[in-house]
Every structure is written in C-alpha cells, then in structure tokens.
Chain A
C-alpha cells in the first residue's frame, strides 16, 4: 500500500470569515500513525470533515494518495437500525458495486475477512445495536478495511469504550499502520497521543506537529488546551484535568 497525505495551510469551516481551523500543515507517508490532539470543539472533527470534502475549504491544499475511509464515533451511529455486524461491514463494499449489481461473493469474502481481522468473526450475525461499545468500534474499523482504504480517519475511537477494548483497538491500529496505511486518530487524551508516531496539536490554529516527545511539551499542551490545563506535574509532563468523564 502506497498511501500519502499532504496538507498545506488548510483553513476550513462553514462560516465565511471565521474558519473553524486555520493553518494546518501535515505531511504523512504510508505506514505512519498520527494522533490529532485538541480540546472538544478545537477543530479535530472539522479537519476530518474537510479532508473528506464535507466541510468547505477556505484556503490551502490537500493531496491524498489512496482512498479515505472515515470511522465515526460509535455513539453517533444508529443502534436501533435493523442490521447485523456483517451488514455494516458490507457497506464498505457499496462503492465497488454499481447499483444494478448485487454484492458478490468477493464482497462478502472481503467483509468476512475484515471482521475476522478485528476479531469479530463469530459475531457476523449479531445485531449491531447488541454489540458492546468496543465491539461496535471494531465493526466500524472493519468497514473501513473492507473499503480498502489507504488512509483511515478515526474520530475519538477510544471514547465510550472500555479499557481492554481500547487496548485492542490501539493494537489493531498499530497493525494496520504496519501494513502501510496512514492512520489518523483524533483524541483529547494526551497519554494515548504519546503512543502514535506523530502528534498534531490543534486548537483552531495548528499549535504543533511532530514526534510526541518533541511536540508534547508543557508549553504546547498549554496552548492546545488553553484554560483547560490546570496542573503541571513532574518536569515536562503535562496533565489535563478532565472536566467530563468519558
């Protein structure tokens, strides 16, 4: 897989004049994972939506090699929808079948394999709404895999997910990265951000971008979180006091 993502001076948002994000620069090659770190409302989701072409750009340039897949937050999806896990993953194949053709055996095999990859092969026929939060998150990742995407954009995949599931998801992301994909994950958890190859800090403006140990300095984190940063602990370690429980 030969994915690449280049972003230059991107500004995007709905209201003209006041972009929700501004001056975002990013240059990632395949086999690389990036944590997009910022407070709630800091523009992480806007960045993803702009990359997907769903939020208008105001300025800047984006070059993507490989197709994009977006993995939404699980609590945003419809739990009442009458569909099983395999059905959700099969959605990833929709774009490969023209409307007059039924989904074929290849599509089903790809979906099965994707479910196996995330360790849910046994749950293919379980209704999506009956799965746990972590399992749902893995189903949505499987859908992105079935899409054969080179670039994965994941919106807070660890929120609303229990600890063991979060570890599973993190391990899975590392695996996907090692296969040459680009994995972009938004998070507001600094500890999680340390586990990625790079960290992009945004709070409307881009605060910093680079290796975690370079970027996650007290000053940068303070600028990222503004008033939300309340306390600094041992040396360079910044601690964000969580106002809301997750």
Chain B
C-alpha cells in the first residue's frame, strides 16, 4: 500500500501536502470563522488568468497568480457599493477572471492542453521550484500569523470590540493577504477551481467538534494532511486527477462530520451548540 510513495514524484507531492497543512490549519480556521469561503474561492479562480500568462510568457507562476488574485481582491472591493452588493461584485469579478483566462488560454497564447491542470491541479507534476514557492508562502504566512493571529481571532469574535481597540483595519487586510498567499500556494495541489478543497473543507469538517480556535487550527491542519495523502493515493491507484480526488475525500469527511453532529444533536443535544 505504501509502495507508490517510494516514487520520487509521489514523495514530492506528499511533501507539498505536508507544507500546505499548516496553512490549511491556521487560515482554514479563520476562513470558516469569518465566513471568507467565497473570498478564498474567488482569489483561486482569479489566479487562473495569471497562470495562463505565466505559462505562456515564462514569468514565475506564483507571482503572476498572486498578482491577479490580489487584483481580484482589490477590484471586488472597488466594485461593491451602496447599490451593488458584495455578492454581485464578487460574482462579476470572478466570472471576468474566468472569461479572460479562457480567451487568453485558447485564443491568444494557445496553452489549451494545460488548462485542465491549471483549473484542477497538477500535484503529480510538482518540482523543486513549486516546493520552494510553497516554503516561501509558508514563511510569509507564518510571519503574518505570529504578528496578527490574535487580532484576527479577536476580530472574528467581536468586530466592534476589535474596532474600539484600533486594530480592525490592519487585522482584516493582513488576513486577506495571508489567505491570498495560501491560495496561491495551494494552486499546484488543487488547481484554481479547487483550492477550497485544501483551505476550506478540512476546517469546515472539524469546526463542529473544535471547542477552541487552537483546536480548530490543529484539527484542520491534521485533517488537511490526512485527506490530502488519502486523495493522492486514491488518485495514483485509480488514475484520477489528484486535486479532484482530494476534494472528494474532503467531501466524504465533511459528510461524515455532518452525520455525526446531526446524530449527537438528535441524541439530546450532545454537542454543545456553537462549540
């Protein structure tokens, strides 16, 4: 059963998943606590045109992806106003990224064959450059986390109080940048459309059983690693795209957690509400 992991490309893929686990833990927790799942999904999707341009011009892919991802974040913030809800602004920016990406890919640069990998990941093709980029992302997010984690958690719990302490703005902004960096790091593993499989699913699965932010972070990180390795193995054995396999394993875990919490709820509210 462990045979596949003797292969160098499987070892690199597994190492990538190990590096992503802390990101999925710390930022997954914040995404779930703050309801930022659509932001993460949007930044991932917005990275798609960046990946296309990078592939065609030879520019570094993580930089290009981060560029278009952050452009998306800024654009969404710009577009929404008193007469256009955040939901409509997000949807517009997101579909614009997809349409521009596909026109660039199929008609301008003709990178058609790689589009599937950009959208759904290429975990089995990870090289040392990609691993190095993930290490950098881990370092950046690690620094931001050390400095701002308390602010993020405080803001998630009580925005008004955090505002009165004068930390609201810096806290929000740094969190959004940290999530964008983590999304870009997860692109190779899960692809532009499936980054949530790594960053959102584990934390959402663990959330009902985590009594503290720390436990949520640890649980989500551990689950991200377990479901990642399981998805990778299944993808190898059944010849499936690994990012998609990870999403399905994550979905199964979420379904199991849902059944479990429904059961304990029907059995006399065993799980304390909001615990």
A–B touching in complex (CB under 8 Å) = yes
* A contacts, CB < 8 Å to B: 79-80
- In the complex, the chain B residue whose C-beta lies closest to that of A79 is B82
Q: Any chain A CB within 8 A of the CB of B83? A: yes
- Interchain CA distance A217-B83 in the complex, whole Å: 47
- Give the chain B neighbours of A79 by CB distance below 8 A: 82
List A contacts of B82 (CB < 8 A): 79-80
**Within the assembled complex, what's the spacing in Å between the Cα atoms of A232 and B83?**
46
A80 to B82, CA, bound (A): 6
When C-beta atoms are compared, the residue in chain A nearest to B85 turns out to be: A80
State how many residues of chain B have any CB contact under 8 Å with chain A: 2
Closest Cβ of chain B to A216, distance in Å, is 33
Q: How far apart sit A79 and B82, CA to CA, in the bound complex (Å)?
A: 8
Min C-beta distance of B168 to chain A, whole Å: 20
Give the CA-CA distance A80 to B89 in the complex, in Å. 15
List residues of chain A with CB within 8 A of the CB of B83. 80
Listed A/B pairs (3) with beta-carbon separation below 8 Å? A79-B82, A80-B82, A80-B83
Query: From B81, which residue of chain A is reached at the shortest CB distance?
Result: A80
- Expressed in whole angstroms, the Cα–Cα distance for A79 and B85 within the complex equals 12
Report the minimal beta-carbon distance from B229 to chain A, rounded to whole angstroms: 44
A80: B residues at CB distance < 8 A: 82-83
The 3 closest A-B pairs by CB, nearest first: A80-B83, A80-B82, A79-B82
Interface residues of B in 221-257 (CB under 8 A from A): none
| Bound CA span A80–B83, Å | 5
| Shortest CB distance A109–B (Å) | 31
47-94 of chain B: CB within 8 A of chain A: 82-83
Q: Whose C-beta in chain A lies nearest to the C-beta of B84?
A: A80
Distance between Cα atoms of A140 and B92 in the complex (Å) = 34
Taken together as a complex, chains A and B put the C-alpha atoms of A58 and B83 apart, in Å, by 40
Rounded to whole Å, the gap between the CB of A82 and the closest CB of chain B is 9
Bound CA–CA A79/B81 (angstroms): 12
Closest B residue to A81 by beta carbon equals B83
Q: How far is the CA of A145 from the CA of B83 in the complex (A)?
A: 29
CA distance A80 to B80 in the complex (A): 12
Quote the shortest CB–CB distance from A238 to chain B (angstroms).
Answer: 30
Rounded to whole angstroms, the CA-CA distance of A95 and B82 in the bound complex is: 30
Q: Who on chain A is nearest to B82 by CB?
A: A80
A146 CA to B83 CA, complexed, in Å: 28
What is the bound-complex CA distance between A80 and B85, given in angstroms?
10
Task: State in angstroms the CA–CA spacing of A90 and B230 once bound together.
Answer: 60
Q: How far is the CB of A233 from chain B (nearest CB, A)?
A: 32
C-alpha gap A221/B251 in the complex (Å): 56
**B81-129 with Cβ < 8 A to chain A:** 82-83
Q: Which residue of B lies closest to A82 (CB)?
A: B83
**How far is B91's CA from A149's CA once the two chains are assembled, in angstroms?**
41
State the Cβ distance, B80 to closest chain A Cβ, in Å.
Answer: 11
Give CA–CA (A79, B83) in the complex, Å: 8
